Amino acid sequence: MKESKIVDLVSRKLVPYILLFGLYLISYGHLSPGGGFQGGTVLSSAILLLCLSRGVEATSRLFTSRAVNALEIAAFTLFLAMAAAGMAVGVSFLGNFLPLGRIGEVPSAGFILFLNMVIGLEVGTGITLICFSLLRET
């Protein structure tokens, strides 16, 4: 893929805003349309934009696949820990053990907010890993 200067410049300027939008989708998942899966996909689409504009090798130097793999395992551990925590606290398996807070505020849905973040991280790293290995393969 011959990287043209324009695509490279525009994508480097655009990526931070896409990442910001992804984070917005994750953190406001319980208040407005969005959530963990959608936010995670937007995050990985930002990284893929970098891949397409500067090639997989350059991007994987920035996001080394070993670090992304570690992040994914951390996210999966967090998810299982939260699932088991509900049971340990005595509510029930995967039950909401955090206070619900004031409806309509950001920190309001207790358990759901943190689950959204963990899933956002999980899906983001997962899809990035899949696309890295498939892109590197061709």
Applying CB under 8 A, the residues found at the interface with another protein are: 29-37, 69-70, 72-73, 76-77, 79-80, 83-84, 86-87, 91-96, 100-101, 103-104, 108-112, 115-116, 119, 122-123, 126-127, 129-130, 133-134, 136-138
8 Å CB contact between 130 and 44: no
CB of 99 to another protein, least distance (A): 9
Q: Hey, what amino acid is at 135?
A: L
Q: Which is nearer to another protein, 11 or 113 (CB)?
A: 113
Closest distance between another protein and the C-beta of residue 10, in Å? 27
| Closer residue to another protein (CB): 11 or 68 | 68
Gyration radius of the chain's alpha carbons: 17
The upper half-sphere exposure of residue 35, i.e. CA atoms within 13 Å in the direction of its Cβ, equals 6
Smallest gap from Cβ 16 to another protein, in A, equals 25
107 CB-near residues (< 8 Å, 6+ apart)? 101, 113
Q: Which is nearer to another protein, 14 or 82 (CB)?
A: 82
CB-nearer residue toward another protein: 15 or 28: 28
Our separate counts of H helices and E strands in the chain read: 4, 0
Residue 67 CA to residue 98 CA, distance in Å, equals 30
Give the alpha-carbon dihedral of 40, 42, 47, 48, to 10 degrees: 110
Quote the least distance from Cβ 43 to another protein, whole Å.
14
Cβ distance to another protein smaller for residue 32 or 61: 32
